[in-house]
Chain A
Amino acid sequence: MGKTSVGSFLSSTVAIASKDLRSEFRTKEALNASFAFSVVILVLFSFAFDPSSEQLQTISGGLLWVVFSFAGALILNRSFARELQNDCLDALISSPAPTGALFLGKAIANFVLLMIVELASLGVFALFYDSRFGAQLLPIALVIALGTWGITVIGTMFSALTVNLRMREMMLPTLVYPLLIPALMAAMTLTTDLMSGTPIGKDNTIWLRVLIGFDFIYSILSVVFIDVVLVG
């Protein structure tokens, strides 16, 4: 890959990402819906489980990631579906931009949107469940970013994979959630630990490594296989 080639890869990636972000910020539909959904889930759970109980500290990490992954699905669902509207996907694929740039651009946009929704939900969560993140703010932010990138990569890839299927809305969750389990498991454990004051240390670095490994492997796999998925 020559220098200009890297340059055009990057500029295509940025063009796609900023397009997605711009059209989302213009309507804010997915953001609002996803945030509203996450509040609804929090409310539902507050009925399902007694939020004032002692046990809450031990489940809050888990709860948080359930909320993130469900609310995030709304955003990821739309990622490639957005391109279907007027057959925009065809125009993107027939352009000289590499499909890898297409994927990365969309993944970056999704990541930003997801992080926004997650931060907002985190605020609501802290209010509802009276949690505090102060002590371990930075490591928690790191874990959230890593976990979110995992959700984003898998979600974006499978959004592309299912975009032409009759049963898109059903196939996406059925395929994505089982695949996400290692990342979610790791993120849940780390978040719970951090929220209960345990720093990342010898007991749980393994989880951090799982999370990083997951992100790394699937980012590579996705960029490699996106062309097969989109073009054939």
Chain B
Amino acid sequence: MQVQPLVRIQAADFDVAAETLRLTAGRKDVGALVTFTGLCRDEAGTLDALELEHYPGMAEAELTRIAEEATGRWPLTGLSVIHRFGKIAPGENIVLVVTASAHRRAAFEAADFLMDFLKTRAPFWKKEHLVSGAGGAWVDTRAGDEKDAARWSSS
């Protein structure tokens, strides 16, 4: 009865409302729906765009592995993950996770888990392109990301 997650890697933007509807339309067993959207930030005003590189094939495979781990751990009625690649401007969407369940704790925890593992395990890399035109740097990993992912092995 475990649901088959939807996993997509695409250059185009996604439509959160359409993805939400896909997990709720015509159903009466969804009590809780959580969406997480990750966006490109630029508080300093120096970023022209992020360039998202990925490992085609492995990106889909790894996201599917993480998503299936989530559907195995929590009683979900639906789970979708969409990750964009290519150039993404500040304010634009990068990643979407949607989880649906009868109960809110499962929906929250599964979405949270998915983002933690996506950050540390999905083969995507961000490079900054600056407004100044100067050669941007590859974004470094955040120390907190590994710690966030480690939270789930003790529970």
Q: Does B associate with A?
A: no
Interface of B with A (CB < 8 Å)?
none
Interface of A with B (CB < 8 Å)?
none
